[in-house]
Amino acid sequence: MIVFTKAGLAISVASVVLNSFVRATSFDGQYLQPNSTNDAVEWWWGSAVGTPESAGTPGPVLQFLFYQGYSILVDSDHSSLPEYYFTINGFFPNGSDFSVTVPATSGNIIEGAGNVVTGTWGEVGSFQTSHDLKTMYVSFNAPDAPYGISGTMHFTSNRANHFGCNVTDSPYFDEFMPPPSQALTEAEQILFTQLGWAVSIPGGTVDVDVTINGTRLQFSGNGYHDQNWMPLALNEFVSSWYFGFAEIGPYTLSYVSVTPVNSSIAFNTGYLATDQAVLQNQCSVNGTKITDISIIQPKGEMTGAQGTVAPSTWTLSYIIEDGTEFEFEMVPTAANPNLNIYQRWTGSITGGKKGDESYEGVATFEWLNPGLNVYSSSA
Ligand SMILES: *[C@@H]1O[C@H](CO)[C@@H](O)[C@H](O)[C@H]1NC(C)=O
Ligand SMILES: *[C@@H]1O[C@H](CO)[C@@H](O)[C@H](O)[C@H]1NC(C)=O
Ligand SMILES: *[C@@H]1O[C@H](CO)[C@@H](O)[C@H](O)[C@H]1NC(C)=O
Ligand SMILES: *[C@@H]1O[C@H](CO)[C@@H](O)[C@H](O)[C@H]1NC(C)=O
Ligand SMILES: *[C@@H]1O[C@H](CO)[C@@H](O)[C@H](O)[C@H]1NC(C)=O
Ligand SMILES: *[C@@H]1O[C@H](CO)[C@@H](O)[C@H](O)[C@H]1NC(C)=O
């Protein structure tokens, strides 16, 4: 039985039935088994964003993704890389960008006491979360050409770990699936029932000390760490995906907005917290309710990656359960990666509670666009 076809290549149903997940007992553990016989992908992502040296420049930034499998699969023979690798993207304090993909011979996750998780990517990289998810340690060990990355990152969390949707027992979005009367496509079902999200470190600080091709990059910045997994590569069921996070004034925030392939659904999840309370941790299909929502809206136009048009501004709104509104505006300074299928911007963020004090900060916000949707501010 053929479920998806793309570019003339058939992907067998074997990849779709990968739903009996290896449920980790640790929050940040292994949830799927991506390997060369399936199209599953699982990644551990972390970000350090420092205060820019001057307004309008993006550095310093260091971001990593430890991968098992492929987030974007262009053919089904898995030939482009080994199954295990990590990617590094970032900016030096002067705004120059850098990026590298480091292949690994293995990508093992071992669970320890409490929420301790140790990830070992061959000899080239590793990470470890602490039992209480308050800290995370990351190490890179590929100093030689052609990779040129070594050093460490130490995260200290300022918020409790969370799944989306304000639940403690499921990393999936199935409770927020549109009613059964509405027949969902396979792509929509995978989004709601099999795409997992676990946020171990919603915000906090991170100390970075790495060497990139002989140049030391050392800074303290805002830290964030989460994990995603799915039974297919993202491009096989997702058309568009907005994601972002920031620390601004008293607020720690993140959001995701996803539209599956061939779907009119925009599924939103939003998280907004201070050190006093979690103000929101919601999931919803865009347009189905008017409070306890988060909406991310691209605005304006600028030149994007590879000759495309990209938004020049993003407005992020949260309306919490009691109707209180928060609004933030994000403006990109630079993108890395900067591809038509994936633009990850570093930029400024301003805003807060509507009518109240406005704060300023730095943010990371991205548009994964495997569907190559064309953006226009008038659409
Ligand atoms: C690959 O993953 C599948 C689950 O999709 C599992 O049944 C199989 O044993 C795995 N193969 C290897 C070589 O680990
Ligand atoms: C910025 O800093 C990096 C690392 O020191 C250096 O390689 C690069 O040439 C610098 N770029 C500019 C434009 O000065
Ligand atoms: C180190 O230099 C090589 C060769 O120029 C380059 O391909 C690689 O991306 C660089 N490493 C990093 C971490 O930027
Ligand atoms: C999306 O729609 C196109 C055109 O109808 C079709 O060729 C394609 O198979 C669909 N993709 C999925 C994942 O349903
Ligand atoms: C999260 O769930 C708890 C328990 O159901 C509830 O008391 C709280 O109001 C919810 N918070 C938000 C922000 O939805
Ligand atoms: C989400 O809903 C708002 C109105 O509630 C609308 O302005 C916006 O365009 C919608 N976004 C998407 C992606 O559908």
Is 217 inside a domain boundary?
Answer: yes
Ligand 6 atom nearest 296 alpha carbon: 11
Is 257 inside a domain boundary?
Answer: yes
H/E stretch holding 191: helix 186-194
Report the alpha-carbon distance of residue 247 to residue 362 in Å, rounded: 7
Name residue, tokens 């949830």: 31
Ligand nearest to the CA of 10: 4
Is 378 inside a domain boundary?
Answer: no
Look at residue 288 and give its three-state secondary structure. coil
C-alpha separations of 184 from 39, 129, 231, 249, 264 in Å? 21, 37, 17, 40, 11
CA of 287 from ligand 1 middle (Å) equals: 40
Q: Which long-range contacts (CB under 8 A, 24 or more apart) does 78-82 make?
A: 78/36
CA of 333 from ligand 3 middle (Å) equals: 22
Is 19 inside a domain boundary?
Answer: no
* Strand partners of residue 215: 212
Mutate to test the pocket of ligand 4, among 261, 263, 265, 373 (most ligand atoms within 8 A of CB): 261
Query: Is the beta carbon of 218 within 6 A of some atom in ligand 2?
Result: no
The gap from C-alpha 130 to its chain's centroid, in whole angstroms, comes to 21
Query: Is the beta carbon of 287 within 6 A of some atom in ligand 6?
Result: yes
Task: Tell me how crowded residue 149 is: count the other CB atoms within 10 A of its CB.
Answer: 24
The parent domain of residue 236 ranges over 27-368
The secondary structure of the chain in percent helix, strand, coil, rounded to multiples of 5, reads 5, 50, 40
Ligand 6, atom 9, lies closest to the CA of 297
C-alpha separations of 156 from 7, 58, 134 in Å? 44, 22, 6
Ligand nearest to the CA of 213: 3
| Closest by CA position to 287, among listed 245, 327, 257 | 257
Report the alpha-carbon distance of residue 131 to residue 296 in Å, rounded: 34
Report the alpha-carbon distance of residue 234 to residue 72 in Å, rounded: 6
Amino acid at 136: M
333: domain CATH number is 2.40.370.10
Is 113 inside a domain boundary?
Answer: yes
CA of 322 from ligand 5 middle (Å) equals: 12
Query: Is the beta carbon of 38 within 6 A of some atom in ligand 1?
Result: yes
C-alpha separations of 177 from 163, 165, 295, 368 in Å? 16, 12, 18, 22
* Strand partners of residue 364: 245, 346
Name residue, tokens 């109707």: 323
Whether the Cβ atoms of residue 19 and residue 40 lie closer than 8 Å to each other = no
pLDDT tens, residue order, the chain (379 aa): 222 222 323 333 333 434 444 566 799 999 999 988 899 999 999 999 999 988 889 989 999 999 999 998 876 667 777 899 999 999 999 999 999 999 999 999 999 999 999 999 999 999 999 999 999 999 999 999 999 999 999 999 999 999 999 998 899 999 898 887 778 999 999 999 999 999 999 999 999 999 999 999 999 999 999 999 999 999 999 999 999 999 999 999 999 999 999 999 999 999 999 999 999 999 999 999 999 999 999 999 999 999 999 999 999 999 999 999 999 999 999 999 999 999 999 999 999 999 999 999 999 999 999 999 999 998 6
- Count of domains in the chain? 1
Ligand 3, atom 7, lies closest to the CA of 146
Query: End-to-end alpha-carbon separation of the chain, Å?
Result: 37
Is 6 inside a domain boundary?
Answer: no
Is 188 inside a domain boundary?
Answer: yes
Ligand nearest to the CA of 68: 1
How many Cα atoms occupy the beta-carbon half-sphere of 244 within 13 Å? Answer: 32
The Cα angle at residue 232 between residues 228 and 237, in degrees rounded to 5: 95
Mutate to test the pocket of ligand 5, among 166, 251, 252 (most ligand atoms within 8 A of CB): 166
Is 8 inside a domain boundary?
Answer: no
